[in-house]
Amino acid sequence: MPVPRRRHGRSRQGKDRSQKQIKAVNTVPCETCGQQKLAHRVCQNCGEYKKTKVKKVETKS
Ligand SMILES: [Zn+2]
């Protein structure tokens, strides 16, 4: 039974690898405290989402 020598050519291999790098996550400033946070997520600094308190945040004292 014949066996292919390689799956893809070098050109296609390079195109595949060009998309493989790690990309930076998208952050937006929090509306309440201004700290950078993940988009569409609760702020880890103040625990608010769309200016409403969602989560209790422990403050270091
Ligand atoms: Zn915040």
- Mean pLDDT in order along the chain per 10 residues (61 residues): 90 94 91 92 91 78 62
Structure tokens at 31: 């509306």
Q: Which pLDDT belongs to residue 61?
A: 62
Say if residues 45 and 35 touch (Cβ distance below 8 Å): yes
**Confidence at residue 13, expressed as pLDDT on a 0 to 100 scale:** 94
Cα(60) to centroid(ligand 1), Å: 16
Give residue 27 CA to ligand 1 midpoint distance, Å. Answer: 12
- Per-domain residue ranges for the chain? 26-53
Handedness of CA 32, 35, 41, 47 (dihedral sign): negative
- CA 44 – ligand 1 centroid, Å: 7
Three-class DSSP category at 49: strand
Which sign does the torsion angle of CA 49, 52, 56, 61 carry?
positive
